[in-house]
Amino acid sequence: MNNAANIVTDDAYEFLSVERPVAAPLYQTSLFTYPSVDALRQGIKDESLTHLYSRGNNPTVEQVEDRIAALEGGEQAKLFSAGVSAIASSILSCVKQNDHIVCSNDSYVWAQYISSTYLSRFGVSVTFVDATDLEAVEKAIQKNTKVLYLESPGSMQLRVQNLPRLAALAKAYKLTSIVDNTWATPLYQNPLAMGIDLVVHSASKYLGGHSDVIGGVVVGSKALVGRIFKTEFLPIGHVPDPFQAWLIQRGMRTLHVRLPFHYASALKVCDYLYDSNKIAKVNYPMHPKSPWYSLASEQMTGGSGLLSLEVKSKDVQKIEEAVDRLKMFRIGVSWGGYESLVFPTLVSSPNNPSLIRLHIGLEDPKSLISDLDQAFSVL
Ligand SMILES: *Cc1c(COP(=O)(O)O)cnc(C)c1O
């Protein structure tokens, strides 16, 4: 396991400023100048190696990239303007017309959109599979398959995919394997060490950690990330603003302090939910009662604050009333910041109104449990 505390707090960047500031300098600049024509000539040869223009590289952005690469145990990372741009660029960099992708049917909804609706415009096809089923994944692979796109634990149901075996399968068929590791963060899961080729994150969640910034990142080998830099990042311009990157690096300094708190509180909330007679199902793979616990604890060393549950009631109005009664859980999308949040799936998928997603924030877990208890009492 990596030593996160050192990686996020070591002042490895003091060379950036002669004044040796304790907070990271913010290079809010669009371009960099050269001392001579010859220096510019050398710089322009390979934009990935120089500070030419902030659509390519910027020192504040690189600081985040180097830290995430270190945490994930990857050779190189590239920060993007959003998680979805990191996902889209990773997939796009691997495919051309008439290629095929295998994509987990549990993946983030916009990753599914990119793999199907978006890429179908360019003649790339997709098969969605239950990636917890290795046989189903192998069956879905075709001669023209180039990418195996995964997310573990998966969105909403938080089911766990066997990453080492899926990585081996991808290698056997010469596919690029990509895993969305947003839920576990680089602190608790490192898919590259399991043989996965590329890891993507939404930095808008725990890396930023304060619900005040959007960002994304891709981590992997120099060859793969370098290719994404040249073929998608630079020409399309999925650039993170330096201040966006600055906020992410600031958030990351407390990642190893925040995550254990989210994890401990989520376990306490799960204990309450497992005991409640209003609840039919709890989805949190790092709880010992979860059917995914054994595989989950082989692949992850901890859990985050995101879980979902199914209430026993199927009464949409009652469920809506219960969610409206919550005081500490604010109603909204996204997660990963200080605050507890609730997302009832009845707003988007009426076929399963009982499924509710909770983000367990950094408030006192006892107060969060009392709040859930008073709200669910109407069910
Ligand atoms: C939020 C999220 C994304 C998308 O990230 P953005 O930063 O919102 O573009 C991708 N994957 C997962 C698992 C997410 O939760």
What is the distance, to the nearest Å, from the Cα of residue 230 to the centroid of all Cα atoms in its chain?
23
Give 15 Cα–ligand 1 centroid separation in angstroms: 33
Give the pair of three-digit tokens for residue 13.
């960047």
Strand ranges across the sheet with 306-311: 279-283, 306-311, 355-359, 341-344, 330-331
Q: How high does pLDDT run on average in the chain?
A: 94
The conformation of residue 186, written as its DSSP 8-state character, comes to H
Q: Please report the atom of ligand 1 found closest to the CA of residue 183.
A: 13
* Cα(92)–Cα(108) distance, integer angstroms: 17
The pTM of the full predicted model, rounded to 2 decimals, is 0.95
Residue boundaries of the structural domains of the chain: 23-252, 255-376
Is residue 101 within 8 A of residue 126, CB to CB? The reply is yes
DSSP 358-369: EE--SS-HHHHH
pLDDT at 1: 40
**Confidence band (pLDDT; 50, 70, 90) for 12?**
very low
Beta strands (DSSP E) in 112-262 are 125-129, 145-151, 176-180, 198-202, 216-220
List 359's β-bridge partners, or say none: 306, 341
With 90 as the cut, is the pLDDT of residue 214 above it?
yes
Instruction: Give the SS3 label for residue 147.
Output: strand
DSSP β-bridge partners for residue 220:
76, 198
Distance (Å) of CA 29 to CA 53, 57, 244, 330: 8, 11, 13, 37
Mean pLDDT within 87-110: 97
Note the pLDDT of residue 5: 52
- Give 361: exposed, middle or buried? Use CB within 10 Å, 0-12, 13-18, 19+: buried
Question: How does DSSP assign 43-89, residue by residue?
Answer: HHH-GGGS-SBTTT--HHHHHHHHHHHHHHT-SEEEEESSHHHHHHH
Closest among 301, 308, 273 to 286, alpha carbons compared? 301
User: Rounded distance, CA 222 to CA 49, Å?
Assistant: 12
**What is the average pLDDT across 106-130?**
97
Residue % of the chain over a pLDDT of 90: 91
**Which atom of ligand 1 sits closest to the CA of residue 216?**
7
Identify the weakest region by mean pLDDT among 39-48, 157-166, 305-314, 316-325.
39-48
How many angstroms does the Cα of residue 42 sit away from the middle of ligand 1?
37
Which residue's entry shows tokens 């690096």?
249
- What SS3 state is found at 351? coil
Mean pLDDT value across residues 148-177:
97
One of 3.90.1150.10, 2.170.190.11, 3.30.210.10, 2.30.40.10 is the CATH number of 255-376, namely 3.90.1150.10
Q: Given a cut of 90, is residue 177 above it in pLDDT?
A: yes
Ligand 1 atom 5: residue of nearest CA: 83
Which residues line the pocket of ligand 1, CB cutoff 6 A?
82-84, 108, 151, 155, 180, 182, 202, 204-205, 214, 216
Mean pLDDT of 76-98: 98
CATH architecture assigned to 23-252: 3-Layer(aba) Sandwich (3.40)
- Residue 8 above 50 pLDDT? no
Per-residue confidence (pLDDT) for residue 351, from 0 to 100:
82
Task: Summarize pLDDT for 335-377 with one digit per residue, the tens.
Answer: 999 999 999 999 988 788 999 999 999 999 999 999 999 999 9
Task: Read off the pLDDT band of 17 (50, 70, 90).
Answer: low
Look up residue 25 and give its two tokens. Answer: 């300098």
